[in-house]
Amino acid sequence: MKNLIFFLLFATVTPLFAQVAVLEINAGNHDRYQTPVHLQVNKPLATTRAYYLQKPGSKKKLPAQAVDAHTLFFILDSLPAGTRVTYHLVAGQATPSKNSPQIEKKPEGVQVRVGNKPVFFYQAQEVLPPNTPSHYSRSGFIHPLYSPAGQVLTDDFPVGHTHQHALFAAWVNTTFKNSFVDFWNQHLKKGTIEHVQVLDTQQGPVAAQLKTELRYKSLEFGEVLREVWTVTVYPFTDYFLFDIEQLQTNTSADTLHINKYTYGGMAFRGSREWNRTDSAHYSNRWHILTDQNKTLADANHTHARWVDASGQVDGKMTGLTVFGFPSNHRYPQAIRVHPDMPYWCYSPMVDGAFDIAPGASYQNRYRYYVHNGSPDPKIIKQIQTDITEPIMVNIINR
């Protein structure tokens, strides 16, 4: 078992030689198609070198990418249930893909594309709309998020909820130094969240990766948490697929208590066309569907492995499915789905309070599937299976 690893679980394996190794990949009980694989190894990889996978006797080269010294990414194109395949890992260049994810740094933040299609913009610079009170100033979130057809799926500083920001995370009801602190509702002037720095960006044939650092700040006591987002974008254009890994560390000398409450956590604020409060732009109501077949009428405060939000934008259907990972706190997490306004979030505090002690960390991971049209049940099932029943890889060194 020492050579056995599970995709995305980052178990320890025997050293990988930089030049050549053999990978035995087992599909398990499910068909695999376009599956992102993260391979964790002991012996350092050269991040400046190109790699590829090749079946014995085949001329086809499958691109692989060392995103750091111990992590190799590749996309397994297809593998039927109950079958295995052998690849040689080779140090060398595969044919570049026209759909390789790209990162462009700008003064305001970071633009991410796949091929020539924009996927999202990460807002690093503090922003505030005209004629808006200064306490609503915000940075450290993703907006806009685009569909593959170019529609804008998210809203920022929305009418009626100025403190919400597309793809964002925040705690609501917390206690720190025996005082109430709310990092979500900025108008209460108790707390806020701000971007600190871009830690790293990289791009390659398999993925683009963006690492950013944020600060959770009590307006009375100062910094409470540092948060790192690691956003990994995969090279798909029929739909978009990316992960957000969220790592919070308590940098203070006091425990942050996240109290039992009705909402808070990793959130999605949907299109202004779905916001009935925004009379200038509203056109239709959004739809919610979860893995438990819950809808907008009954999804609130249920537990969900995935949640899809969809509706019409610019006259065409589009949407976003967000998947949690089994390693997440209280997986499958409770969700907050607002009955009228187009926002929802993964909210583990619905099930009770929890703490982040000084020096302790809190970590979650989510996968985002952005689709044209209505959600595709086949793709959703495939992504969910890859997360909860990952493929197996056996590494044989030479």
Task: Indicate whether 67 and 110 sit together in one domain.
Answer: no
Both 197 and 323 in one domain: the answer is yes
What span, in angstroms and rounded, lies between the C-alpha atoms of 201 and 191? Answer: 29
Strand pairing report for 361-372 and 240-250 = antiparallel
The answer to whether residues 130 and 260 belong to one domain is: yes
Residue 14 in this model has a pLDDT that exceeds 90: no
pLDDT at 20: 58
Listing DSSP states for 350-386 in one string gives GG--EEE-TT-EEEEEEEEEEEESS--HHHHHHHHHH
pLDDT tens digit sequence for 341-386: 999 999 999 999 999 999 999 999 999 999 999 999 999 999 999 9
Helix, strand, coil percentages, rounded to 5, for the chain: 5, 50, 45
Verify that 89 and 224 share a domain, yes or no: no
Residue found under tokens 């995969």: 234
CATH code of the domain covering residue 28: 2.60.40.1180
Contact 114, 146 (CB under 8 A): no
Whether residues 21 and 169 fall in one domain:
no
Q: For the chain, how many structural domains are there in total?
A: 2
One-letter amino acid for residue 210 of the chain: L
The 265-269 sheet, strands edge to edge: 101-106, 109-114, 117-123, 141-145, 167-170, 265-269, 343-346, 335-337
- pLDDT tens digits for range 138-158: 999 999 999 999 999 999 999
Which residues lie across from 270 on neighbouring strands?
154
What range does the domain containing 320 cover? 101-386
Per residue in 185-204, pLDDT (tens digit) is 999 999 999 999 999 999 99
> How many angstroms from the chain centroid is the CA of residue 281?
28
Question: Do both 349 and 296 map to the same domain?
Answer: yes
Q: What is the pLDDT of residue 98?
A: 83
pLDDT at 7 over 80: no
C-beta separation of 219 from 190 below 8 A: yes
As a whole number, mean pLDDT of residues 321-343 equals 97
Cα separations (Å) of 157 from 275, 288, 361?
12, 22, 29
CATH number of the structural domain spanning residue 348: 2.70.98
Pairing outcome for strands 174-176 and 256-258 = antiparallel
Asked if residue 213 and residue 106 are part of one domain, the reply reads yes
The Cα-based distances of 16 to 39, 347, 397 in angstroms read 10, 39, 6
Task: Answer yes or no: do 184 and 196 share one domain.
Answer: yes
How far is residue 59's CA from residue 76's CA, in Å, rounded to a whole number? Answer: 16
Per-residue pLDDT tens for 17-65? 444 588 999 999 999 999 999 988 777 788 777 899 999 989 899 999 9
Query: Which amino acid type is present at position 241?
Result: L
Model pLDDT, residue 21: 82
Q: What is the pLDDT of residue 126?
A: 96
Q: pLDDT at position 50, please?
A: 85
Same-domain status, 34 and 115: no
Question: Are residues 83 and 123 both part of a single domain?
Answer: no
**Mean pLDDT confidence for 223-231:** 98
pLDDT in tens, 234-268: 999 999 999 999 999 999 999 999 999 999 999 99
- pLDDT for 158 equals 95
Same domain, 106 and 81: no
